[in-house]
Amino acid sequence: MENKSLKYFLIMAGSTNHMLRGEKLLRETGIETALVPAPSEYGSVCAIAIRVSETVIQEAKDILTQYNISLSGIYEDIPKKLSGLLERISNQIISEDFLSVLSKVEDGRDLTYDDIVLLISSEKRAELDALYTAADRMRQEVIGDVVDIRGAIEFSNICRKDCNYCGIRNSHPSLERYRMSEDEICEVVHQLHSMGLQTVILQSGEDLWWTPDKIVHLIRRVKKETNMKITLSIGERSREEYALYKEEGANNFLLKIETTNRDIFKNIHPDDDYDHRVQCSNWLKELGYLNGSGSIIGLPGQKVGDIAKDILYFKEMGINMIGIGPFLPAKGTPYEFLPPGNVEMTLKAVAVTRLVCKRVFIPATTALASIDPDGQTKALKVGANTIMLISTPDRYRCNYQIYSDKNMIDLDSALTAVREAERKLPPYLKKDMR
């Protein structure tokens, strides 16, 4: 938990390996660390920095020097101000209250629950344009113009759970189940690697056939053959399992909370306990993962205040990757006939999340692209900075539909979104892929 009266520093290591080793060393000596995306002015594309408080910065420096961790710089993490923001916004058609919240953003002050509710509640075009301008500017200042592109392999659609919104839930009446072999997964990993991508997301239902031994084997093989960064998204596991995967080289973990409203959480997740989900997320953070979470906009019973609380939760938990998508009803589930979430509300949540959480990865989600063909471009224009390619082989992907009519984001559609949003492609993407 952040202490607002302290200064914080960002430690930039000379390489990703040094950063990961350094961060582990610091944690092992009891220093509280957080991994955060590096500011664009200090790091290479989507580099990660180690964030520590002023009370331990000297000790941290000494330890890193003692263990020969190469450092490229240490910078004070100064709250980002957006000077001149209000000058760019026409004051006449924006309410005083709305302007006063934006002036807090301009001054680098934290937003309260009431501020967030006010921003998300607005439906006036001029105010929304001002909000999106602010979020886009914040994204540019804290993380730069490059869009990070990652590849996701949905390697098993078998799940022990029955989340009511999910199209691969255990009691789905007609879904054809599949489980990719390790060789099949690695074949796709190599394709992503040959495109130049640096991160692969290994995602599945909670499929316990994938035992810790099998997952470790897979992690080792991906690391040995490609050295790609690995994001795991395999659901709730024990702390020991999470620790094991981290030890073996997994870098990031994605475990969404979906909503911080306990009643809605219980309704949508009949098998899950809210406190345990939060506990899992805390374990992941303690273990040094780049910690992913996210929310669904438009869940039954959800209010604007719930969305505001979700955003504050991401900030307070120090979440690094935040996926926000609209609720989309999936065929064969209890929620099949509910109305979908709203695109504009989702964009507002993305924008405010950027303003509140600042230096985080925010994907332009597949769910947004599924409900609106321009959804990813729109998200990139209001604070998002990452796109996830759906890289599951054709023969399987139609059976991994968490929601129906899922848009299968491929490289071409990602490139289109990046260009339409007038953003930059990552330099690691091979030239013949552009």
**Tokens read off for 288:** 């040094």
Min separation Cβ 205 and ligand SF4, Å: 4
Min separation Cβ 193 and ligand SF4, Å: 26
Residues 50 to 109 in contact with ligand SF4, rule: CB under 6 A? none
- Using DSSP's 3-state secondary structure scheme, residue 348 falls into helix
Min separation Cβ 409 and ligand SF4, Å: 19
**Tokens read off for 250:** 């997994």
DSSP state, 301?
A: T
Min separation Cβ 92 and ligand SF4, Å: 46
- The answer to whether 159 contacts ligand SF4 (rule: CB under 6 A) is yes
Measuring CA to CA, which residue among 377, 383, 365 is closest to residue 140? 383
Min separation Cβ 169 and ligand SF4, Å: 4
What DSSP string runs through 329-368?
Answer: --TTSTTTTSPPPPHHHHHHHHHHHHHHH-SSB-B--HHH
- Contact string 216-235 vs ligand SF4 (x = CB under 6 A): -------------------x
Min separation Cβ 11 and ligand SF4, Å: 35
Residues 8 to 47 in contact with ligand SF4, rule: CB under 6 A? none
CA atoms within 13 A on the CB side of 292: 22
Taking the C-alpha atoms of residue 228 and residue 192, their distance in angstroms, rounded to an integer, is: 9
Out of 102, 163, 180, 188, the residue judged to bind ligand SF4 by CB under 6 A: 163
In this structure, are residues 36 and 102 in contact, taking their beta carbons and an 8 Å threshold? no
Candidates 47-55, 97-105, 157-165, 220-228: pick the segment binding ligand SF4 (CB under 6 A).
Answer: 157-165
Looking at beta carbons only, is 172 or 358 nearer to ligand SF4?
Answer: 172
Measuring CA to CA, which residue among 45, 57, 55, 65 is closest to residue 11? 57
Min separation Cβ 287 and ligand SF4, Å: 20
- The answer to whether 323 contacts ligand SF4 (rule: CB under 6 A) is no
Min separation Cβ 158 and ligand SF4, Å: 9
Out of 38, 168, 230, 390, the residue judged to bind ligand SF4 by CB under 6 A: 168
DSSP state, 206?
A: S
- The answer to whether 175 contacts ligand SF4 (rule: CB under 6 A) is no
**Tokens read off for 343:** 């695109």
Out of 161, 179, 221, 239, the residue judged to bind ligand SF4 by CB under 6 A: 161
In this structure, are residues 307 and 295 in contact, taking their beta carbons and an 8 Å threshold? yes
Candidates 27-35, 140-148, 160-168, 297-305: pick the segment binding ligand SF4 (CB under 6 A).
Answer: 160-168
Looking at beta carbons only, is 198 or 295 nearer to ligand SF4?
Answer: 295
Show Cβ contacts of residue 371 under 8 Å, excluding neighbours closer than 6 positions: 326, 328, 340, 341, 343
Q: How far out from the chain centre does Cα 68 lie?
A: 31
**Tokens read off for 185:** 């997964």
Please list the alpha-helical segments (H only) found in 287-335. 304-317
Indicate the pairing of strand 48-53 with strand 8-13: antiparallel
**Tokens read off for 231:** 């994001």
Candidates 42-50, 158-166, 300-308, 417-425: pick the segment binding ligand SF4 (CB under 6 A).
Answer: 158-166
Looking at beta carbons only, is 169 or 354 nearer to ligand SF4?
Answer: 169
Locus of tokens 């332009």? 364
Instruction: Give me the residues that bind ligand SF4 (CB under 6 A), please.
Output: 159, 161, 163, 166, 168-169, 205-206, 235
